[in-house]
Amino acid sequence: MRDPGRDVCGGAFAFPVLGDPAPGAPAPGGRAFLRSRGSGGAEKFLIGIVLVWFAVLVLFPLGAMVRGVIDAGFAESLRSLASPIAQHAFWLTLGITVISVVVNTFFGVILALVLARQKFAGKLLLNGVVDLPFSLSPVVAGFMFIILFGPNGWLGKWFEAGGIRVIFALPGMILATIFVTVPFVTREVVPVLQESGTEQEDAARTLGANGWQTFWRITIPSIRWGLGYGVCLTAARALGEFGAVLIVSGSVIGRTQTATSYIHQEFVDFHYAGAYAASLVLAVASFLMLVAMELMRKRVADRME
Amino acid sequence: MTPLGSILGFGTETLDMGIIVRNVSKRFPGEKGKGEGLLAVDNASFEVPRGHLVALLGPSGSGKSTILRIIAGLEAPDSGEVMMGGKLVSGRPVHQRGVGFVFQHYALFKHATVERNISFGLEVRKWPRREIMQRVDELLELIQLKGYEDRYPSQLSGGQRQRVALARALAPRPSVLLLDEPFGALDAKVRRNLAVQLRALHKEVHTTTVFVTHDQEEAIEIADEIVVINRGRVEQVGTAAEVYDRPATKFVASFIGNVNVIEATVENGTLFIGPGRLPVGELVDTSRSGEVVALVRPEDIELVEDDATPGIECTLREIRYRGDRYEQELDLAGLAVHMVEDKTRGQTSGRRPGDRLRVRFTRYSLFEAESGHAALRRQLESLGYIE
């Protein structure tokens, strides 16, 4: 069961878990809508709706995927996963994910610090632009990179002249993945920075810590859970990225094919065993990351405020 | 037993430093294009002699915390300078000033245990591990939190957090200790207790200490000197007795202690008060004349019993018993004036509202009535002093 109330990472959710508050305790403001212990029919009905909705959206598809692997046979599934093409696709995805996470963590923290702490002209604009990859279709994002880095693109020309291939090659795939995962770290870290304020950092400085020491010993530890959450989201998104990377990679089997495009390939080729197995691997990876995150969060919530 | 002074390491003369604040001003920018911002500190100057415990006293928003932060280097003044131990420190960054700072809300490191909070200043200074452990141990003993090493700040009470913040600030043996409303967030009892402890600690170690407070009783109780601040300006610097008995400005008189604000007129060296122009007596200080404001503390009004002594005729409106004293409201020709009388002093008990009395002022301060008596009267009316 999740801890009610406080969300260490995002700080955005403050809803008590149903049935958690003291019996009969009215919500502040008088009305106890959806807050009192769920003994009435209305509450049970609402809980029922949530469970059904959740099952249809999440549990059934997951079950179907597991079922698919079973139907295709474990041996066949494992064989597809062990194939050089699948192996290459997974390693490529892992590599791209690691690089994207590192880059976005680094710049994401800097960006968050700037957005949370600095005042400057154009801050509002920057604040909006950070969210652009959220709202922009990944396919459009990929297409932008083609225009920019393609052999005849503004920047592509220069790279081409220098003998560096960006589009239909690894650099373009990394760039596209970084682009679509830009907001996650920043968006998780900014509220944490704003909430923790600058007093602890001021205290560190009066105690003799220079800027570098203050950053590593105070700033980073106080944002670490938000940062961890942002990193997990970034990684999950990078692992699952399809559209933008598909456009810029060309999905060349054994060369620029990522795990998701491998799944797509297997699916359109009627190799369902491979598609199911690879999907399951990605799903399990995402699930494990979530579990890890929840465990960390719980431990911290128990110890700190 | 080790003397407290050597535990804290303040005994060393060279570590002790006086502070000089000279012509410091600081303006906070306003919202874009709106006004000229807030002049938080306005040409403030004062000195904190080496080893003294000084209070910066003023109402909230008076700029006292900003001055403290400027001394620490957490804010940069627009103009003016700060000196410590005879050296200019204005350009020196915070972490090189060697100040201990206790924040109003403690600013403890939430992610760190009590022990790591206290040892932080020593770790960044690269003290040897063994000495750090020893020092943390001493300080935990001093603040009586032995056994709390592994607690997190969220697991401590307000008073305990405050003590940890103090220990953390003291750990690197700062030359100057600065405290921003150190007891502001605590309830009255804990507050009083800790204030007395701070005084005791200072008596023992004599490090130069400046603390910010809006509580005049706290300032009077523990400070050697008080710097009274209002609207970013230093109104008066002096001992508690000086600012209380000889307030330099009207603000000081009315902010510290209770005071009766009385419209008065000086004519031919004689002071008349109230709308009824009651003669009070001849003035020693003849520098003022015309319309003035007299500030009289309730305890500086005395009953005149024998007919030979000149006194001011008045009527007793109300009398309240306060345990150790009687609080009385007098009617001086239409002016409500408060008088406090020690229980043991007068035959107060037999007095009834409506009785005619004669009183005299044993001490009062005269100030210019800036905008004339009419404005003052309106102000007093709104406060309920005049009906």
Question: Cα separation of A232 and A240, whole Å?
Answer: 12
Name which of A210, A217, A305 is nearest B154 (Cβ-Cβ): A305
Q: What's the mean pLDDT in A80-97? A: 93
Quick one: pLDDT at residue A153? 84
Picking from B75, B111, B116 by the largest number of A CB atoms within 10 A of its own CB, the best residue to mutate is: B111
Higher pLDDT, A18 or B153: B153
How far apart (Å, rounded) are the C-alpha atoms in residues A44 and A25? 18
Distance to chain A for B106, nearest Cα, Å: 9
Question: Is a pLDDT exceeding 90 seen at residue B377?
Answer: no
Mean pLDDT of A251-255: 83
Q: How far apart are CA B190 and CA B211, in angstroms?
A: 17
Q: Determine the residue type at A291.
A: V
Can you give the pLDDT at residue A271? 85
A vs B: CB pairs below 8 A: 76
The whole-chain average pLDDT of chain B stands at 84
CA A153 to CA A170: how far, in whole Å?
17
Cβ atoms of B239 and B232 within 8 Å: the answer is no
- Compute the mean pLDDT over every residue in chain A, rounded to the nearest whole number: 83
| pLDDT tens, residue by residue, B165-183 | 999 999 999 989 999 998 8
Which residues on B lie below 8 Å from A123 (Cβ)? none
Provide the pLDDT for residue B284.
60
Residue B222: both structure tokens together: 């523990």
Report the first-to-last Cα separation within chain A, whole angstroms: 18
Q: pLDDT confidence of A22, banded at 50, 70, 90?
A: very low
Collapse the DSSP code of B181 into the 3-class scheme (helix H, G, I; strand E, B; otherwise coil) and give the result: coil
Weakest mean pLDDT among B41-55, B129-143, B259-273, B334-348: B334-348
Determine whether the interchain pair B72/A209 forms a contact, defined as Cβ–Cβ distance below 8 Å: no
* Mean pLDDT on B103-129: 94
Q: A215: distance to nearest CA of chain B, Å?
A: 12
Burial class (CB in 10 A: 0-12, 13-18, 19+), B266: buried
CA distance B91 to chain A (A): 15
Interface of A with B (CB under 8 A): 196, 199-200, 202-210, 213, 217-218, 221-222, 224, 303-305
Name the residue facing B72 among A206, A213, A221 (closest C-beta): A206
Question: Across the interface, do B111 and A209 touch by the CB < 8 Å criterion?
Answer: no
B333, with CB counted inside 10 A (0-12, 13-18, 19+), is middle
Q: What percentage of chain B's residues is helix, strand, coil (to nearest 5)?
A: 30, 30, 40
CA B233, distance to chain mean position in Å, is: 14
Q: Are A91 and A172 in contact (CB under 8 A)?
A: no
pLDDT at A95 over 90: yes
For residue B21, what pLDDT is reported?
Answer: 94
Q: Does the pLDDT of residue A110 top 70, yes or no? A: yes
What residue in B sits closest to A120 (Cα-Cα)?
Answer: B32
Residue B253 has a pLDDT of 87
Q: What is the DSSP letter of B386?
A: B
Whole-angstrom distance, CA of residue A226 vs CA of residue A220: 10
Instruction: Output phi, psi for B137, to 5 deg.
Output: -60, -45
pLDDT value for A177:
94
**Distance (Å, rounded) from C-alpha A164 to C-alpha A42?**
63
CB contact under 8 A, B120 and A205: no
Give residue A195's pLDDT.
87
pLDDT band of residue B245 (cuts 50, 70, 90) is confident
pLDDT-derived band at A154 (thresholds 50, 70, 90) equals confident
**From A153-167, B61-75, B112-126, the region with the lowest mean pLDDT:** A153-167
B108 vs A200: CB contact, 8 Å cut-off? yes
The whole-number pLDDT of residue B250 equals: 85
For testing contact with chain B, the best of A200, A206, A302 (most B CBs within 10 A): A206
What pLDDT does B285 receive?
A: 63
- Which whole number is the average pLDDT over A85-109? 95
Q: How far is the alpha carbon of A65 from chain B, nearest alpha carbon, in Å?
A: 41
Question: Which of A124, A207, A215, A303 to probe the B interface (max B CBs under 10 A)?
Answer: A207
Residue A47 has pLDDT above 60, yes or no: yes
Q: Do A196 and B110 touch (CB under 8 A)?
A: yes
Between A39-43, B145-149, B274-278, the lowest mean confidence (pLDDT) is in B274-278
Q: Three-class SS string for chain A?
A: CCCCCCCCCCCCCCCCCCCCCCCCCCCCCCCCCCCCCCCCHHHHHHHHHHHHHHHHHHHHHHHHHHHHHHHHCHHHHHHHHHCHHHHHHHHHHHHHHHHHHHHHHHHHHHHHHHHHHCCCCCHHHHHHHHCHHHHCCHHHHHHHHHHHHCCCCCCHHHHHHCCCCCCCCHHHHHHHHHHHCHHHHHHHHHHHHHHHCCHHHHHHHHCCCCHHHHHHHHHHHHHHHHHHHHHHHHHHHHHHCCHHHHHHHCCCCCCCCCHHHHHHHHHHCCCHHHHHHHHHHHHHHHHHHHHHHHHHHHHHHHHCC
User: B87 in helix, strand or coil?
Assistant: strand
Of all residues in chain B, the percent with pLDDT exceeding 70 is 85
Q: Which helix H or strand E contains B163, and what residues bound it?
A: helix B158-170
**pLDDT score of A93 more than 90:** yes
The highest-confidence range among A82-86, A96-100, A147-151, by mean pLDDT, is A96-100
Q: One-letter amino acid identity for A185?
A: V
Residue A255 has pLDDT above 50, yes or no: yes
pLDDT category of residue A4 using cuts at 50, 70 and 90: very low
- C-beta atoms of A208 and B95 within 8 A: yes
Region B9-24: what's the mean pLDDT?
Answer: 68
